[in-house]
Amino acid sequence: MAARRRFRKRAGQAVSAVQLALDTEGFAYRKWGAEQRCKRGDWLVDNGGEVYTVDAAVFARTYRPVGPGRWVKVTPVWAEPATCAGSLPTHEGRSHYEAGDWLVANQPDGGDAYCIERATFEALYEPDDEPAAPPAPPGDPAGPPG
């Protein structure tokens, strides 16, 4: 496989999400070629019509609110294109992928991984090869209005 590279979500890629804050054992559903499990406290996410669940701890670590029920992923991911079909374990179950899909991880070492179809990945993510620029000082014309 190709070397894993760092990516970030493109600007304007907010999702709608609600936490499963109910007295429940959770539920099972089929997605990505296998059964997925959602448990109490996990998040139900609608990402432009693609609906799935995210583990509560992962969501808390990687997303920030931008409005009522709207969230953005603020942490980078590390990804590489798959060279052949396969599957990988996730917090929710197992996900199957085809050659050309992207294998995406929330950790630089490949941990906390999932897969995304190529076209979807390319629409949502962009390379993040440079460190983030520091915020502009207050009153700086390049900074936000103060």
pLDDT in tens, 43-98: 999 999 999 999 999 999 999 999 999 999 999 999 999 999 999 999 999 999 99
Q: Give 131's pLDDT tier (boundaries 50, 70, 90).
A: low
Is residue 133 pLDDT above 70, yes or no? no
Quick one: pLDDT at residue 99? 97
- How much is the pLDDT for 2? 62
> Which parts of the chain are beta strand (E)?
5-9, 15-19, 27-31, 34-38, 43-47, 50-54, 63-67, 70-73, 77-81, 86-89, 94-97, 102-105, 113-116, 125-127
With contact defined as beta carbons under 8 Å apart, do 48 and 56 qualify? no
User: In 3-state terms, what secondary structure has residue 121?
Assistant: helix
Q: Does residue 145 have a pLDDT over 90? A: no
In this prediction, residue 16 has a pLDDT band, given cuts at 50, 70 and 90, of very high
